Structure 1
Amino acid sequence: MTVGLVFVSHSSKIAEGLVDLARQMAADVTLVAAGGTDDGGIGTSFDRVAAAIDEADSGDGVVVLCDLGSAILTAETALDFLDDDSRARVRLADAPLVEGGVAAAVAAQTGGDLDGVAAAAGTANASAGADDSAGTSQAPQAEPSSSSGYSRVVSIVNRDGLHARPAADFVKLASTFPVRVTVNGKDAKSLLAIMALGLVRGRDAEIATADPDGKEAVDALADLVASGFGED
Structure 2
Amino acid sequence: MRVGLVIVSHSDKLAEGLCELAGQMAPDVALIAAGGTDDGGIGTSLEKIQAGIARADGGAGVVLLADLGSAVMTAEMALEFLEEDQREKIRLADAPLVEGAVAAAVAAQTGQDLAAVVRDAEAAAASMAGAAAESGAAPADAAPELDDIDQDDTGVLEASWELINPMGLHARPAAVVAQAMADLDADITINGVDGKSVMMLMTLGLKAGDTLTVSAHGPDAERAVEMLGLEVRNGFGEI
Normalising by structure 2, report the TM-score: 0.91
What displacement does 1:139 show?
Answer: 4.1
Name the CA distance, whole Å, in 2 between partners of 1:131 and 1:179.
21
Q: 1:213 offset after TM fit, Å? A: 4.1
Q: 1:191 aligns with which of 185, 188, 198?
A: 198
Structure 2 gaps of 5+ residues are 145-151
1:202 correspondence with 2:190? no
**Aligned partner of 2:213: which letter?**
E
**Count of paired positions:** 231
Tell me the CA shift for residue 149 of structure 1.
1.3
Question: 1:14·1:35 contact (CA, 8 Å) conserved in 2?
Answer: yes
State the percentage of identical aligned residues: 50
Q: Is contact 1:8-1:35 (8 Å) kept?
A: yes
Cross-structure match for 1:91:
91
Q: Which runs of 4+ in 1 moved over 6 A?
A: none
Q: Distance in 1 between matches of 2:190 and 2:131?
A: 17
Does structure 2 conserve the Cα–Cα contact (< 8 Å) formed by 1:32 and 1:56? yes
**Does 2:228 align with 1:226?**
no
CA distance in 1, matches of 2:2, 2:78: 21
Task: Provide, for residues 143-191 of structure 1, a one-character-per-residue CA deviation record: whole Å limited to 9, x for no partner.
Answer: xx65311111011111111111111111111113121211012111100
Deviation at residue 138 of structure 1 after TM alignment: 3.9
What amino acid does structure 2 have at the position aligned with 1:71? A
The 5 A counterparts of 1:45-194 are: 45-130=45-130, 132=132, 137-139=139-141, 146-194=153-201
1:15–1:106 distance in 2 versus 1, CA, 3 Å: same
Residues 148 and 212 of structure 1 are in contact (CA less than 8 Å); yes or no, is this contact kept in structure 2? no
CA–CA distance in structure 2, aligned partners of residues 141 and 186 of structure 1: 14
Please state whether the residue corresponding to 1:221 is helix, strand or coil. Answer: helix
TM-score by length of 1: 0.94
Please state whether the residue corresponding to 2:183 is helix, strand or coil: coil
